[in-house]
Every structure is written in C-alpha cells, then in structure tokens.
Structure 1
Amino acid sequence: MFELIQAGGWVMWPIVLSSVAALAIIGERFWSLQRKHVCPPNLVGQVQQWLARNELDDAHITLVRDSSPLGRILAAGLVNRRHDREIIKEALEDTGRHVSPDLERYLRTLGTIAAISPFLGLLGTVLGMIQMFSGIGTHGVGDPSIVAAGIAQALITTAAGLAVAIPAVMFYRYFRGKVNELLLDMEQEALKLVEILHGEREKD
C-alpha cells in the first residue's frame, strides 16, 4: 500500500486524507442517524401517558428534550401547550428548523469529498503525464522506467480518486434520503402531539 502511495506522488496524500475523513463521516452518520436515536417510536405515546396522568412537569419536559432530536421538537410544543394551536405549531416548526441542520451535519463535507476526489485524481494524472514527457525530453525514450513512472503515477492517482469518490457519492445520497425520511417522520410525530394537546386524538 505504501509503495502505491509513493508511486502516486504527493497528490496521493490529500486523496488518502479525504478517504479517511469520508470513512469517519460515514461511520458517524450511520450511528447518529439511527431511527431509535433520532425519532424514538414510543416518545409521543409516553408524553401522552404523562398528560393523561397529569404528570407532565418541567423535569419530564427536560427529559423529553434531552432524549433525541424529536424530543427537542416535542419539548418546544409542550412548553407552549397551554397556548393556541397555531402558537404550538409555530414553536414546533421553529425548533424543527434548528434540528434539521444537526441531522445534516458533515454531509456537506462528505459531498465536497465526493466532488473533489476525481479532480485530485485528474491532477495526479496530469502531473504524471508532465513527469513522463519531461523525462522523455531530458533522457529520450531509451529508458523505459522514466515513461513507466509517469504512467504509473497517472493511473494510480486516477484510480485512487475514483475509489474515494464513488462510495462518497453513494453514501452522500443515501444519507440525504435518510435525513429527509427522518424529518418527515418527526413532522408526523409533532402533528400527533398537536392533536393530543387539543384533545383531537384518542389514546392509541
């Protein structure tokens, strides 16, 4: 592996660093975007039980807020539960707008890695060609190792750039879709809470 990095020249180092960053982001997002961490399925039901038993106090609201991104949204509605329906919905929507960037954290970086990795590979290709023709101009075509080194650098950096870019694009699109699904689920759960607070929804 180290021999390949050496053969690819200095361009291989930013490609390697990009691959490490992409792997770290993919692992972190897989963990953080689990549905049980973002949108616990029984959270609204638990809140509904506390409301029915008249047990919902500041401590319970804090517990809900700290539980998950969905909890942050629901807590905003619970704090305003004695206000009109529109005020509750505005509080939920405002908090939702602040939660959304947290779900999309690092995705821009992953998208940037996916975009620049092929260009880094292309840069290595160009540098390899320059090295090859420079060697030919200086030493002629009698020494095949000069040509081989330039071609090797060109091919290695191109392959490395694509090897980083392809999975980065795939996971970027996957996580974008996952975030959209989670946001939709949280919106539905928030609407359930509004219905519960205004007595328009029976206990499940």
Structure 2
Amino acid sequence: MFSIIEAAGWPIWPLILCSIAALALVIERAMSLRRPKVVPKGLVQEVLGVHRQGALNDDVLGKLAANSVFGTVLAAGLRTHQADRQADEAVLRQSFELAGRTAAHQLERYLNTLGTIATAAPLLGLLGTVVGMIEIFGAQAPGSGTNPAQLAHGISIALYNTAFGLIVAIPSLVAHRFFRGRVNGFLVDMEQDAETLLQHLLRSAPRGR
C-alpha cells in the first residue's frame, strides 16, 4: 500500500486527507443521528401525559431539553406556553419553528462537508492522473524512442489517483445521501409530533380572552 502511495506521487496526499476526514465525519454523524438522540419514540406522548398531570416545571423542562434534539424543540414551545398560557397559535407556532430551525441546523451539521468531499475526490483523482501523465510524457527524451512497457507502467501508476479518488468519493456519496435521508425523516417526525403538542396546548389554554 505504501509503495502504491509513493508511486502515485504528491497528488494522492490530498485524497488521503479527504478519506480520513470523510471517515471521521461518517462515524460522527452515525453516532449523532441515532433515533434515541434525535427523536426518541413516544417522547411526545410522555410530554402530553406530564402536561395533563400539571407536573411541568423548570426542572422537568430542563431534563426534556437535555433528553434529545427534539426535546429542545418541545421544551422551547412549552416554555413559551408556561410564560403565557393564553399565547395564541401564531406565538406558539413561531416558538416551535425557531427551535426547529436550530434543531435542523444541528442535524445537518457536517453533511455539506461530506458532500463536498464526495464531489471533490474524483476531481482530485483526475488532477493526480493528469499530473502523472504530464510527468510521464515530459520524461520521454526527444528522439530516444518510446518503451511501450515503461509507458504502460507509468500510465497505470498515474491512474492510481483516479482509482483512489473514486474509492473515497463513492462511499462518501452513499453516506451523504443516507444521512440526508435520515435527517429528512427525523424532521418530518419532529414536525408532526410538534404539531400534536401544539394543538394540545391550544385546546388546554384558558379561555380568558
């Protein structure tokens, strides 16, 4: 492996750095985008039960916000409702939406970087191949003739960069699409559950106005 890297020349080193970065991002996103850390099953039902019992307080809301990404969204809406129990739908919905945008940004963190690596890796591989081809043909002395075996060997070495670029790009692209789909699914679940809590809060609001 080291001999291949050495033969491919300096253009392969940016690809190696991209592969390390892509692997680190995939591991980080795989750990962060687990359902229990984002949208735990049954969380909104538990919150509805606690709210019906009248047991919501700052301590409970703090634990809810620390529970998961979706917990922070629910806690934001509940804090707005606790501050003004007669808050109308527009105020509550805005509270949920602002917290939801923050949560979406948190879920999408590093995905653009992973997508950039998936796009740039083949180009870096192609660049390495072009540089290698230039060096191969530039090393041929005019009038000395061409050794086909030597030329074929040099071209195969130059193509290492293209192959390595694809090896980095394909898994990165698959991971990017996979995590993007998972984030979109989480956001849909969060939106639906937040709407359920919002309608519950509106029904339970006092009719003093």
TM-score (norm 1): 0.91
Match of 1:196 among 179, 194, 200: 200
Letter in 2 for 1:125: T
> What is the deviation of 1:191?
0.5
Question: What is the RMSD computed on CA atoms of the aligned residues?
Answer: 1.7
Residue of structure 2 equivalent to 1:185: 189
Work out the CA distance in 2 between the residues paired with 1:22 and 1:91. 35
Letter in 2 for 1:162: L
Structure 1 residue runs of 4+, over 3 Å off? 138-146
Match of 2:110 among 90, 106, 109: 106
TM-score (norm 2): 0.89
Deviations along 1:130-182, one digit per CA (max 9) or x if unpaired, are 11111213683465675355313321101000111111111111111111111
Unaligned 5+ residue runs, structure 1?
A: none
Work out the CA distance in 2 between the residues paired with 1:185 and 1:139. 70
> What is the deviation of 1:95?
0.9
> What is the deviation of 1:75?
0.7
Letter in 2 for 1:169: L
> What is the deviation of 1:28?
1.2
Matched, 1:97 2:98: no
User: CA 1:53–1:122 in structure 2 vs 1: closer, same or farther (change >3 Å)?
Assistant: same
Identity over aligned residues, as a percent?
44
User: CA 1:154–1:54 in structure 2 vs 1: closer, same or farther (change >3 Å)?
Assistant: same
Residue of structure 2 equivalent to 1:125: 129
Deviations along 1:75-126, one digit per CA (max 9) or x if unpaired, are 1110112122221111000111111111011111101101111111111111
Matched, 1:37 2:19: no
Work out the CA distance in 2 between the residues paired with 1:169 and 1:72. 30
1:136–1:147: 8 Å Cα contact kept in structure 2?
no
